[in-house]
Amino acid sequence: MRYLVLLTGTRLTDAPPELMKAIMDLGGEATAAGALLDTAGLAPATDAARVQLRSGHLSVMDGPFTEAKEVISYALYDVRSKEEAVEWSRRFMAAHQEHVPGWDGVADVLRVMGPEDFAPPA
């Protein structure tokens, strides 16, 4: 099963080298385990756009957006269970907890649907 993890938080302008090493080590471990398919940081919301459909009205808005926290990175995992994806995410957040005291963030773990989710009923 594939899971997309979206990290929302306050963007770190000067990430401590210890945090970057911990993230690289964890990414290497997840890649070696065959779990991590892709990961990357995302550009600030100043470079973003939001396409919205609300009450039948379609609009496009350029960033930045009013939220103080923004989606700052993602990871795509191929794992056996949601629990495994949650554990990789927990370890990633624990690295932040250890190396950036006071930093707050959220990792949303979302299952990526595949063709099996749309198969006709048997």
Over residues 64-107, the pLDDT tens digits come to 887 768 899 999 999 999 999 999 999 999 999 999 999 999 99
- Encoding tokens for residue 37? 């398919």
The predicted pLDDT at position 58 comes to 95
Adjacent-strand bridge partners of 105: 9
Average pLDDT over residues 108-113: 97
Domains along the sequence of the chain with CATH? 2-114 (3.30.70.1060)
Over residues 19-69, the pLDDT tens digits come to 999 999 999 999 999 999 999 999 988 889 999 999 999 999 998 887 768
Predicted TM-score (pTM) above 0.85 = yes
- Encoding tokens for residue 43? 């550009």
